[in-house]
Amino acid sequence: MGHGKLKKFAENTTFRCLLQPDASSVLAPKAPGSKALVLRDHPIKGNWGKDMFGNDNPIVLELGCGKGDYTIALAKRHPEINYIGVDIKGARLWSGAKEATLEAMPNVAFLRTRIEFIGAFFGPAEVSEIWLTFSDPQLRGSENSRLSSPLFLDRYRSFLRPGGIVHLKTDSRYLFEYTSAVCKVNNLQIVASGTDVYGEGIHVPEPSASPTPPTSWAPPSYTAEGGHGFGDMYPLSVEEVTSVQTFYEKMFLQMGLPITYLAFRIDHEGAYEYPGEAFDHEYWLEKEGPRRSFSHQPNKKQ
């Protein structure tokens, strides 16, 4: 391990905004012969507002946040909202935690853990929105490894408040289409989408085009200037989706690659269904081409 990383890891321990629990603190013993992940609650679960932020403002997560580009940028725009970036890479989190500390940003925190463990850290309805920014599409890996798979949506549902939004922003058309198929087979409400946000833009369906939401949902609002409110938390404009760019996103734009965006609600009773034949894996895998292997080479990571 290089001296630079060691220095960052050491400094990480000094950042109040960065929580780095040991995996053993949330992993409970498995039942004999079982491979299922068994978690036990971390003390911060249900207590982020009180113990980390000192208020009861809405909480937004960026999962797989890397350097925390979205976490930092959105927190600067919305001081009335608390933002938490989650990633397993300490060297990446150092960048966001350092900036948040130097700029004394009280509404920013970071959590170093595996996304698989996320349910151990957040209580029912504790989170208002989730951002998935340029997640690995797991083209040839397990479907359950995709952060928008039914397995992960079920985990998010345990702590996302009713009507909460999941935002997916990615250069992977494969992941965009897969997630769209998951939404379709589960009748999840899509509140905004775009297959080329810097070209064709983002489409916000008219209210009549969306499924009739249960009474617990907060329906989207619409403005004459093209902005839209994704629930009752804050009005997120199309401009905001495109103006905040991650390290990866800037690189992909320089390469001329289209950026996709999907925002949807995961309110759903019962088990989530897998897309099955509703998603043509081979077709979209072929369409994806070699760019994913290029864009995710180790030396290109955040």
Which residues are part of the catalytic machinery? Answer: 136
For residue 53, give both structure tokens: 């932020």
Q: Which residue reads 């679960």 in tokens?
A: 45
Instruction: Let me know: does 265 contact 165? Beta carbons within 8 Å.
Output: yes
Residue 270: CB atoms within 10 Å: 6
Spatial distance between the Cα atoms of 75 and 83, rounded to a whole number of angstroms: 6
For residue 21, give both structure tokens: 């629990």
Residue 174: CB atoms within 10 Å: 23
Give the angle subtended at the CA of 117 by the CAs of 167 and 150, to the nearest 5°: 50
- How far does CA 81 lie from the centroid of its chain? 16
Instruction: Let me know: does 204 contact 191? Beta carbons within 8 Å.
Output: yes
Spatial distance between the Cα atoms of 212 and 60, rounded to a whole number of angstroms: 25
Query: For the chain, how big is the Rg over CA atoms in Å?
Result: 19
Spatial distance between the Cα atoms of 290 and 296, rounded to a whole number of angstroms: 11
35 vs 29, 32, 38, 302, CA distance in Å? 11, 9, 9, 31
Helix residue ranges per DSSP H, the chain = 3-12, 69-77, 90-102, 150-157, 173-185, 238-243, 247-254, 281-288, 291-295
Eight-class DSSP state of 232: S
SS3 68: coil
